[in-house]
Amino acid sequence: MKFAHITCIVGVFIVLLLPLHAGATAESTEKHLSLDDCISIALENASSLKKAENALQLQGSDVLRSYGSFLPKISASAGYIPSSVSRTYRLNSATPPEAVKLKTEQESIDLSIATSLNLFNGFRDYAALRSALKSERSAELSLARARQSVAFDVIQNYYQVLLNQEVLAIAQENLLTAKDQLTLSERQFQIGLKALPDLYQQQAEAARSELSANQAEARLEQSRLELLRRLRLDARTRLVLAPLPPSTLAAEPVKPDIDSLVALGLQNRSDIESRKLDADAAKWQIRQAASSWYPKLDLNVAISTGGIESLRQTSDGLETSFAYPPLDEQLENSFGYTVSLNMSWALFDGFQTRHNVEQARINHLNRRLDYEDLQSDIAIDMQQAALEYRSAAAGIASAKTGLKAAKAAYEAIKRKYDLGASGFVELSAARSTLFAAMSTLSQATYSLALQKEVLNYVAGTLTID
């Protein structure tokens, strides 16, 4: 009973501590980050970049292996036999001869070194080296494009968070205005200046404004989580983002020239050069596969030596020991070498080489098609980006005009509503129009800034510090 009582007390103590522990582990950290900080963190943590770096490292190893194919292969071997026993029969010198048992025991050591140098194999090694060099360069360019993609992805999400912050601020301001109007309507109702339906309508308007603010806050939190996903940070981290420089959002729009942008993209995009190098590497792989049709010539050199530490023979119960020079002297004087020139030629391999060549040729054609498709895609992407930029630039002017008109209309209708000369429906519509105009201007401003980055990304000129 005493033990059960103690166990109960300990259990209650643990249960009381659990919420404290959970609150401590769930505590979020706050990070103040700029756009450059976010890009740096993403470049450091992005798994896609790590995979691209691993691919580049592997290609570098392949290049080293291709260089090594031109060097002689060297192998060494050593063998030590501490005890070797053999038993045989032999004929003695008696008349007539008789078979007697012969037992031989020895201890020996053997050393050898061999080298082989390929003199010709149908240019297989040369083709493999050229293919590996181009593949390595392609991997470098792919890594550069991957860095741009990660940075652009972060920029998009960073802009989205800032935009959602502005939209939330507008929604909260609209909610505050609706609550102030509700307070005014309640007072006017109490003194008989407003009817009960007007008060109900104002209450509904305040509730709708509160819902819009809550939805805007939810969108903001969702965009922050998406940014955390790109940064590979803890989901409990609270991000406090630095605003964009005024010059970024207030820059005057320019008129992009599509032909110049297409030419710029074809010149600067690292991924298109990577695709071209992949196609060239695949072309050298055709030469590599065709090398099996040619003879192979190898130069082989082998050097060996050995020695016997002791040798004993036993025959008819008589043991005979053979005296050998010291082992180091035997190893020094027993050197031998072999030089050989070997040629091999597969005259028929069941069409295996033909299949390998055809496979390499089809791979080259596919890589070439990928390269040509990317060229066409870049031209189309540049045109789309230019059109969207023009649309965003036009949207700025119309959004400013719309906001100016919405403000004037709301102020006029509100004055009339306060004097009782206008109804609630007109006021609610004017407020909704003003809220939509403010949101539209914010969206247009960030859309134009983002479209500039889209042009840089599609053209391959996105700078990464």
> Does a cis peptide bond (omega within 30 degrees of 0) precede residue 96?
yes
Give tens-digit pLDDT for 86-126: 888 777 666 677 777 878 888 889 999 999 999 999 999 99
Is residue 142 within 8 A of residue 271, CB to CB? The reply is yes
First to last CA, the chain: 70
Q: How far is CA 166 from CA 236, 278, 307, 435, 446, in A?
A: 22, 45, 89, 12, 10
> C-alpha distances in angstroms, 7 versus 17, 19, 20, 129?
15, 20, 21, 73
Give every CB contact of residue 357 below 8 A, 6+ residues apart in sequence. Answer: 286, 289, 290
335-353: pLDDT as tens digits? 899 999 999 999 999 999 9
Residue 262, judged by CB atoms within 10 A of its CB (0-12, 13-18, 19+), counts as: buried
> pLDDT at position 4, please?
43
Give the SS3 label for residue 184.
helix
29-69 pLDDT tens trace: 888 999 999 999 999 999 999 999 999 999 999 999 999 99
Does the pLDDT of residue 228 top 90, yes or no? yes
Model confidence at 251, pLDDT cuts 50, 70, 90, reads low
**Tens digits of per-residue pLDDT, 148-188?**
999 999 999 999 999 999 999 988 988 888 888 788 778 87
Amino acid at 104: T
Cα-atom radius of gyration of the chain, to the nearest Å?
42
Closest by alpha carbon to 296, among 72, 125, 62, 113?
Answer: 125
- Match 């390929």 to its residue by tokens: 118
pLDDT band at 1 (very low <50, low <70, confident <90, very high): very low
